[in-house]
Amino acid sequence: MAAVSAPRALCRLAGQVRPTLSRPDLTRSLSGVTAARPPRPSGRSGAALLWVPRAGLATRSGPRATASQPLSDPVSSPGADAASVGSLDVAIDAADVVATDEAGRCLRVQWRDGSESLYPFVWLRDNCQCSACFLGHPTFVRSLVLRDLDVNTSVEACRVTSDGSELSVTWSDGHQGTYAAEWLLLRSFRPEEQRRRREEHSVEKSHWNASQMSGKLPKADFQQVLDSEPARLALLLALERYGLVVLQNCGSESGQVLRLIQAIGYPHTTHYGTTFKVTTKADPINIAYTTKRLNMHADLPYYEQQPQVQLLHYQRQHGGGGGRSEFADALHVAAELRRLQPEAYRALADTPVDWVNVTLPGETGRSHHKLFRAPVLQEDAEGRLVGLRFSQAQRDSFFGAPLGVVDRWYRAFALFNRMLNDEEYKVSFLPQQGDMVMFDNTRLTHGREDFECPEQATQRCLEGGYIGLDDIRDHRRTLQHRLGRNEFGL
């Protein structure tokens, strides 16, 4: 897998152009930071829950990084994908019918660069691009009714235009369809095109530890992000890749969180409101509204639709010591837990936990009883780690685990907490007045150090809000498409 690529995710392909992003759009310097290979864990796997802090290792959601693979700057690095895609000659030389053991009857397309792609008959027929089967601009949806799709269809004839730009197919029912070469290549079933499509779904994560993030936080200028689409694209790509971005020069006025959210998508409203204030309060409905230390946590684990991206604008910062913000790439830590103590990892991924929030009428004027059951670690259908719910304060005393699991689960939970709070994985910094921190609440845990002068903590005032990853990715793709002039013309 190539090193971390730039936010030029859409590469030139028959008219597509990657946006050129300048250094002021988003700054981050990780040059020279390398990853050290960890020592092998000692002891029998799953016996005692042992973990020894070590030199940091940053990994991606692909192969493990090595000492020769420093993390690359997310803006200036050209990325290996650009060269590999840009070198393709998007034209068809020939097409013929083949039968394969794996995919059955397919149309084989031979590309001008000498490579080839296979397309199953039924997929080609289902995705016919003619006006009777597909509605183009502005809806881009299939209009072919499923009952009219013959899954046993076959190709009667096929023809490639002289310049190789189009493939025409005549089907066994007499229907004729035409497919553009670029359109076919982008949808090839080959691993490289499938990988690019996955990257469009969600940008590949670059996991990090403290040594790689301390003093090297991804940063962006607030006004540039609002005014410049390339700057906004760079911000969104960095957020998806690293899970954490600091926006500077946001000022001290209220409403900046909502301005940024609405420039991207729509707010995720919770029982705290569309936006909310974080200050020290006499009758707090949340521990964040006190001067107490905030343990590492993810916000609102008791929501089935857990808020995904959080924004915190530091309108006023306190004048005393302490109170630094803490963050850890919890999915990276969980991956390390899986490597070092697989039984502990499985306990946290397999055991449902009750997450709860009960509040009496207060500043919202309403009572709330939020309750949701889910494991600490969330995996997708393929077993990949995709999210977490983590909060000591909001974990219910009701526990539906079998008796024989309880002790093992607590040991795993305590071990995971120790790792999250270890200096090897945790980065801490004091946001400046006017900064806004934007982070992935389903990937990172965050906390707050003790205030050295709690009475000065009352000076501190934050405005917060949430936005969904659906909106983040939606706007990122729209910007990629618009700046790249892709097939949708967005």
**Helix-helix angle 191-201:469-484, to 10 degrees:** 120
Residue 122: is its pLDDT beyond 70? yes
Residue 59: per-residue pLDDT: 46
- Listed by start position, the domains of the chain span 23-39+53-79+204-478, 92-199
pLDDT reported for residue 76? 29
Lowest pLDDT segment from 56-65, 390-399, 401-410: 56-65
Tell me what pLDDT residue 321 has: 82
Of 25, 17, 474, 407, nearest to 226 by C-alpha is 25
Write out the E strands in 341-479: 353-359, 368-374, 377-379, 385-388, 426-429, 436-440, 444-448, 461-467
Q: How confident is the model at residue 309 (pLDDT cuts 50, 70, 90)?
A: very high
pLDDT of residue 400: 92
The answer to whether the beta carbons of residues 60 and 204 sit under 8 Å apart is yes
Contacts 24+ apart (CB under 8 A), 381-387: 384/61, 385/331, 385/334, 385/335, 385/338, 385/349, 386/331, 386/442, 387/306, 387/331, 387/442, 387/443
Q: 90 pLDDT band (50/70/90 cuts)? A: confident
Q: Which of 5-14, 226-235, 276-285 has the lowest mean pLDDT?
A: 5-14
Read off the tokens for 27. Answer: 């700054």
Q: DSSP code of 223?
A: H
- Pick 296 or 73 by higher pLDDT: 296
Q: For the range 355-361, what are the long-range contacts, defined as Cβ-Cβ under 8 Å and sequence gap of 24 or more?
A: 355/301, 355/302, 355/389, 355/391, 355/394, 355/395, 355/396, 356/302, 356/394, 356/395, 356/396, 356/398, 357/300, 357/302, 357/394, 359/271, 359/285
- pLDDT > 70: what percent of the chain? 77
Task: State mean pLDDT over 425-447.
Answer: 97
Candidates 126, 115, 119, 141; CA nearest to 177 is 126
pLDDT at site 66: 30
Q: What is the mean pLDDT of residues 214-235?
A: 96
**CB contact set of 30 (below 8 Å; sequence gap of 6+):** 70, 71, 72, 73, 212, 216
| Cα gap 152→204, rounded to integer Å | 37
pLDDT tens, residue by residue, 3-62:
333 332 222 222 333 333 333 333 333 222 233 333 333 333 333 455 544 443 344 443
Residue 27, pLDDT score: 36
Q: Is 43 helix (H, G, I), strand (E, B) or coil?
A: coil
Output the average pLDDT for the chain. 82
Average pLDDT estimate for 237-245: 97
386 phi, psi to nearest 5 deg: -125, -10
Res. 310: pLDDT tops 50: yes
Which residues make beta-bridge pairs with 358? 369
Q: What is the pLDDT of residue 458?
A: 76
Q: What is the pLDDT of residue 138?
A: 85
- pLDDT average, residue stretch 249-255: 97
CATH of 23-39+53-79+204-478, picked from 3.30.420.40, 3.40.50.300, 3.60.130.10, 3.30.590.10, is 3.60.130.10
Query: pLDDT by residue (tens digit) across 185-218?
Result: 999 999 999 998 988 899 999 999 999 998 899 9
Q: How high is the pLDDT of residue 319?
A: 78
CA-to-CA dists, residue 44 to 164, 343, 349, angstroms: 60, 11, 20
Cross-strand pairs, 395: 355
Give pLDDT, residue 129: 93
As a CATH number, domain 92-199 is 3.30.2020.30
pLDDT in tens, 322-378: 889 999 999 999 999 999 999 999 999 999 999 999 988 876 678 999 999 999 999
Residue 395 pLDDT exceeds 90: yes
Give the pLDDT of residue 290: 63
Q: Which residues contact 358 (CB under 8 A, 6 or more apart)?
A: 368, 369, 370
Average the pLDDT over 256-279 and give the result: 96
Q: What's the CA gap between 81 and 78, in Å, rounded?
A: 8
pLDDT band of 70, cuts 50, 70, 90: very low
What 3-state DSSP class applies to 124?
helix
Over 80: is that where the pLDDT of 424 sits? yes
